[in-house]
Amino acid sequence: MNKDELLKLAEKIEELNKIRDGNDKDIKFQIEKQVYKIVGFIRENIVNIFKEDPKDLVNYAQVMGKTCSSIKMSTSQIRKFLDAINRIENLRKKERDITGEVILLKPQLAYLAGKQRRAVKPLANVLFPAIDEAAKNEKNFKKLNHFIESIVAYHKFYGGRD
């Protein structure tokens, strides 16, 4: 799948949400199916964001931003995680070892996903393997930081709520 195909899936989620009537289980199932197609593809290919070419990072962030917007995730839900990333970035700038702090992002994210399951879990499923890669070295951590910032930017671009 390429970026355009993934964006079309995200648009379909948005359309389904517009016609969804309360507890319509069939439409809810279709939405979840589309979300997990997107999440599954990005999760399988997440290591590509850590390569030299930033194209995959931007493309996957755009798709995740659109998807997060389509499933009504709020900006504050993503920003909570970005704040944790920025705190670690400040430690890195002070030349401290950040490996443990990066790994501890996983339980923080799991907590957010457990608290707000429908909205945060798809993002968490993409970020769990990205956190593993980011813990390997500082360069990968910076890429994770750029990825999250880009998701926030595209989420806003696609009309994500505050």
Cβ atoms within 10 Å of 67's Cβ, excluding its own: 29
What mean pLDDT, rounded, does the chain reach?
87
User: What pLDDT score was predicted for residue 21?
Assistant: 65
| Residue 33, both tokens | 């199916």
pLDDT in tens, 125-141: 999 999 999 999 999 99
pLDDT at 122 > cutoff 80? yes
Residues 79, 117, 56: CA angle, nearest 5 degrees? 55
pLDDT at 116 > cutoff 80? no
Q: Whole-angstrom Cα distance, residue 126 to residue 43? A: 5
Mean pLDDT of 13-18: 83
pLDDT in tens, 47-93: 888 887 888 899 999 999 999 888 888 888 888 888 999 999 898 88
User: What pLDDT score was predicted for residue 150?
Assistant: 94
pTM for this prediction: 0.88
pLDDT at 23 > cutoff 80? no
